[in-house]
Amino acid sequence: MPSGELIAYAVLTAVGVYATVNGVSYRLVEPSGAVGPGMMPAASGVVIVGLSLILMVRVLRSSGAGRGVTAEELAAASEDDVIDPPREHRAWVVIGLMVVTALLMNVLGLLPALGILVVVVVGFVERRSWTRAVAVGLITVVVLYLVFDQLLGVPLPTGLLGGVI
């Protein structure tokens, strides 16, 4: 299993190639001689490909396929004292929750969706008591509502319930 670094550089190389190819198709130079819309995409694409390849070669040379850094090593390297053992999957759970929240925004409304996010994170991911979770969620929603909707008049999507919130 190639290291995360290697994958990252491979992805970037692909991105760079894509950028360069498209950049050329967007015209590098205008008929008038001015720099065209494709110049910057192509130029940055070339730089990305070049540097990614160099870095990939470095990684391959230094430690075979490389191992990548594990969460434990990062924790050890961090200067703070950690009281929890590293639980990397927590990050993924939170990412998943944020995606779900964003999807819910158009259904339930932006603030309710955020409220649910808070409740689930505090209650489920962080394993605090559910009463606390709901309390924090409610307070957050109320404060955000007062500041953004009432004070600043930002139009927050209200989802399918519309018209009330």
Size of the site for other proteins (CB under 8 A): 76
Does position 54 interact with other proteins (CB under 8 A)? The reply is: yes
109-138 residues near other proteins, rule: CB under 8 A = 110, 114, 117-118, 121-122, 126, 128, 136
Does position 1 interact with other proteins (CB under 8 A)? The reply is: no
Count CB-CB contacts under 10 A for residue 31.
Answer: 7
Here's the x/- map for other proteins, 7-46, by CB under 8 A: it reads as -x---x--x---x--x---xx-xx-xxxxxx-xxx--xx-
Provide the Cα torsion 10, 16, 21, 23; round to 10°.
170
- Largest Cα–Cα distance of the chain, in whole Å? 68
Does position 153 interact with other proteins (CB under 8 A)? The reply is: yes
70-99 residues near other proteins, rule: CB under 8 A = 71, 74-75, 78, 80-88, 90-91, 94-95, 98-99
Q: Which is nearer to other proteins, 64 or 80 (CB)?
A: 80
Among 2, 17, 60, 148, which residue interacts with other proteins (rule: CB under 8 A)? Answer: 148
DSSP SS3 for 105: helix
Q: Do residues 65 and 58 touch, judged by C-beta distance below 8 A?
A: no
Among 14, 107, 146, 161, which residue interacts with other proteins (rule: CB under 8 A)? Answer: 161
Q: Do residues 110 and 101 touch, judged by C-beta distance below 8 A?
A: no
Residue 46, amino acid:
V
Q: How far is the CB of 63 from other proteins (least distance, A)?
A: 13
Report how far residue 109's alpha carbon sits from residue 157's, in angstroms, rounded to the nearest whole number.
5
